[in-house]
Amino acid sequence: ILVNNAGLSVGADVARLTSADWDRNFDVVIKAAFLCSRAVLPTMIEARRGVILNIASVNGMFGIGEDAYSAAKAGLLNLTQNMAMRYGKNGIRVNAISPGTIRTPIWDERLARDPDVFDSLNAWYALGRVGEVEDVTNAALFLCSSEASWITGVNLPVDGGLTAGSVRMIEDLGGG
């Protein structure tokens, strides 16, 4: 089992990004996944089994800012599908998880600076909260298990309903 889970964000839009920032995002997300996958594939092909799980992001699914990060994660989703199609015949499953906002130490640092940071974020999610690390871990354990033996090439949003629609829009339009 290989889990590719890397990312960084410089938080800038295309007009303000440097080429170095763009390259760094793609090196950390796409190139690292490519290099790690390439390293394990010969062993998986020989064994005729294996699982590669790429941790992408909801940012890679639709436009919500963080331009370089989002583009790199979208590329990772495409790489997931291509590898699933190419290596399925070798018994190798390749899937992705796209987390929404997950409470990690980085978010805890931000929370220390801004105690209300989650108030607005929670309103984005159908379940009314940001995710916990365990939410992603549980999905990853399933996708890497034999219980998911007929699942390949999928992207599983673990996002509290964010990609299902806009809670805030429904409420603003009087439908909530």
Mind listing the pLDDT tens digit for each residue in 44-97?
999 999 999 999 999 999 988 889 999 999 999 999 999 999 999 999 999 999
**Higher per-residue confidence, 174 vs 147:** 147
**Of residues 134 and 118, which shows the higher confidence score?**
134
**Catalytic residue from among 69, 87, 89, 125:** 69
Active-site annotation holds for 73? yes
Cα(83)–Cα(123) distance, integer angstroms: 36
3-state secondary structure of 158: strand
CATH of domain 2-172: 3.40.50.720
Name the residue with tokens 């699914």: 61
Tell me the pLDDT tens digit for each residue of 121-159.
Answer: 898 899 999 999 999 999 999 999 999 999 999 999 999
Residue of 31, 73, 87, 125 with catalytic role: 73
| Angstrom distances, CA of residue 60 to CA of 2, 118, 128, 170 | 20, 21, 22, 23
Structure tokens at 123: 């309103």
pLDDT for position 169: 67
Per-residue confidence band for 170, with pLDDT thresholds at 50, 70 and 90: confident
The answer to whether residue 125 is catalytic is no
**What pLDDT, on the 0 to 100 scale, is given for residue 175?**
61
